[in-house]
Amino acid sequence: MRTFYDQDVDPEILRRRRVAIVGFGAQGRAHALNLRDSGIDVRVALREDSASRAACAGAGLAVSTPEQAAEDCDVLVLLVPDETQPQVYERALAPRLKTGAALLFAHGYNIHFERLRPRPDLDVLMVAPLGIGDQVRATYAAGAGTPALLAVHQDVSGEAHALGLSYAGANGHGRAGIIDTNFRDETITDLFAEQAVLCGGLTHLISAAFETLVEAGYPQELAYFSCLHEVKLIADMIQRRGIAGMRGSISSTAEFGDYTRGPRVINDASREQMRKMLKEIEDGRFADELDADARSGFPTLAAGREAAESHAIEAVGERLRAMMPWLR
């Protein structure tokens, strides 16, 4: 996989264009502020009744409606939630985008699963930060950057890849590395990692371990610190040193338990479920389930949030985090 850095980027390609960021969530805010600070002509596109308009004004960012932005901009960056992107594109953007404009995504979901079908006269590309929005902004502001993935779906102009590099550079990614990929690989790996490790796997592992200790009679406070709080310490070491490097930094007791007991949690049965999850992502079943839940008003999300908020680990966590105000 080719990797590019700031020296490979032509910043003038983006500076010659007007950019609009549709949406002002974590990624939208980070991209808008970073591009502005890189000298890009950028505005945020929001509905007239959006509560984020005041936040944009407070940050000194120009604001327009999605319809106005589509008519005026050369590069439109679609950063509203995945489930709303097709509707926003069809109703507000597709009828108004200039011929030859560029449509840019931060995740390949709607393009790969064909929930959104761009006009054939548009450049369509993706710059996907390998980090959450707060991290993208914080690393940029600190003079560093977050790595990102770059992919091109449609190259009408002949310079979509160069435009993607220029955008990624303005967002700070050239400081850390811009990696060539494609929409399919980014989408599948991102969804699988969220489900198997980063969100689904990790949160259920933490909760199950907490419950096991508490059910056996151990104090909730000790279970919280052991099974949740210390996750960050290990995750930080793994990020800095790799798994082998982390294992070289822990006690022999912890390392022995890792090798002998870890496979009893993550074993052939776990791997078989991971393979099934991956197949469900690849063949579109997960996307179909998500669509169905969205059409019904996301009852699965509502039930999951209610269960999570009422779990004992949240109450004890809130109490213990109050002892550590620096975590806020």
Active centre residues (catalytic) = 107
Asked if 184 and 112 touch (Cβ cutoff 8 Å), the reply is: yes
Distance CA 311, CA 320 (A): 15
Q: What is the SS3 assignment for 23?
A: coil
CA distances from 15 to 12, 28, 35 (A): 5, 19, 10
Q: Residue 189's closest CA among 263, 108, 260?
A: 108
CA distances from 89 to 62, 66, 82, 85, 236 (A): 21, 9, 11, 6, 38
Asked if 224 and 206 touch (Cβ cutoff 8 Å), the reply is: no
Q: Give CB contacts under 8 A, 24+ apart, made by 51-55.
A: 52/24, 55/24, 55/29
